[in-house]
């Protein structure tokens, strides 16, 4: 199985992870978890061609930063490296998330969000003029609920998305589960389904500010 590795630098110790698109979530899907107000996150991912849309028939990578302006709103900017023959460029996009409901003892948290909302136009000569490259476009609503079991923290996430014109990202029902074991709270085990592919992986916190993340998918 191919693997994806990423490393992130965090402002705070207790933050939720970012999937490969840089928004708060599990591996390849968003969750309804929300960072604390004022959190800034930056990171980068190594992306094998099998994990990216069909247009990316080569190994690439992305980088991103994520800011939580308010307790209920999150903004993400990401850039994915692109190339055609001798040309190189970046697919730049942004995402927004709004928390509609905060998690309680009974109710899950609920978030409404979107990725690559405007698409991006690359210069003539690389793609035809006027083509919108919304490779990572999606609009979604997602819920997350956490439970404690023998001091282990378990989270369940379920959502539905629309993948835009290309239907290449979160196009349908998606979900996942995470586990923070009591014996190693700096690690989180994760599995998710992005409406097409099942992925499994883990993230580990080092030095209170650096996360390393790896995953396998089939």
* Mean pLDDT per 10-residue interval, the chain, length 218 residues: 46 55 88 90 81 70 88 90 69 89 96 78 38 71 96 96 70 94 93 90 84 80
Secondary structure (3-state) at 186: coil
Query: Would you state the pLDDT for residue 58?
Result: 75
Query: Would you state the pLDDT for residue 131?
Result: 47
Q: Are 192 and 207 in contact (CB under 8 A)?
A: no
Buried b (16+ CB within 10 A) or exposed e, 116-125: beebbebeee
Q: Are 33 and 24 in contact (CB under 8 A)?
A: yes
**Eight-class DSSP state of 184:** -
Distance of CA 102 to the CA centre of its chain: 20
Query: Would you state the pLDDT for residue 170?
Result: 81
Query: Would you state the pLDDT for residue 128?
Result: 38
For the chain, the distance separating the N- and C-terminal CA atoms, rounded to the nearest angstrom, is 7
Query: Would you state the pLDDT for residue 18?
Result: 64
Separation between Cα atoms, residue 155 and residue 175, nearest integer Å = 11
**Eight-class DSSP state of 36:** P
Which residues, 6+ apart, have CB-to-CB distance to 115 below 8 Å?
21, 23, 76, 93, 95, 136, 137, 138, 169, 170
**Eight-class DSSP state of 35:** P
Q: Which two tokens stand for residue 44?
A: 């980068």
**Eight-class DSSP state of 72:** T
Q: Is 0.75 surpassed by the pTM of this model?
A: yes
Q: What residue ranges do the domains of the chain occupy? A: 3-217
Query: Would you state the pLDDT for residue 36?
Result: 87
Q: Are 51 and 20 in contact (CB under 8 A)?
A: yes
């Amino acid at each position: 199985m191919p693997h994806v590795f990423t490393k992130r630098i965090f402002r705070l110790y207790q933050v939720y992870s970012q999937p490969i698109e840089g928004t708060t979530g599990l591996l390849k899907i968003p969750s309804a978890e929300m960072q604390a107000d004022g959190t800034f996150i930056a990171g980068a991912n190594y992306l094998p061609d099998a994990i990216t849309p069909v247009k990316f028939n080569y190994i690439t990578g992305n980088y991103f930063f994520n800011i939580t302006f308010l307790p209920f709103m999150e903004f993400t900017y990401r850039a994915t490296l692109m190339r055609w023959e001798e040309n190189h460029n970046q697919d730049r996009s942004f995402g927004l998330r709004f928390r509609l409901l905060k998690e309680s003892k009974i109710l899950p948290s609920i978030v409404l969000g979107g990725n690559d909302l405007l698409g991006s136009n690359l210069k003539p000569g690389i793609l035809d003029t006027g083509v919108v490259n919304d490779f990572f476009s999606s609009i979604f609503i997602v819920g997350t609920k956490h439970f404690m079991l023998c001091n282990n923290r378990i989270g369940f996430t379920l959502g539905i998305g629309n993948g835009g014109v290309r239907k290449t990202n979160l196009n349908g029902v998606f979900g996942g589960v995470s586990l923070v074991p009591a014996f190693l709270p700096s690690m989180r085990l994760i599995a998710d389904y992005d409406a097409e592919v099942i992925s499994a992986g883990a993230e580990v916190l080092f030095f209170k500010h650096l996360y390393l993340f790896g995953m396998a998918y089939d």
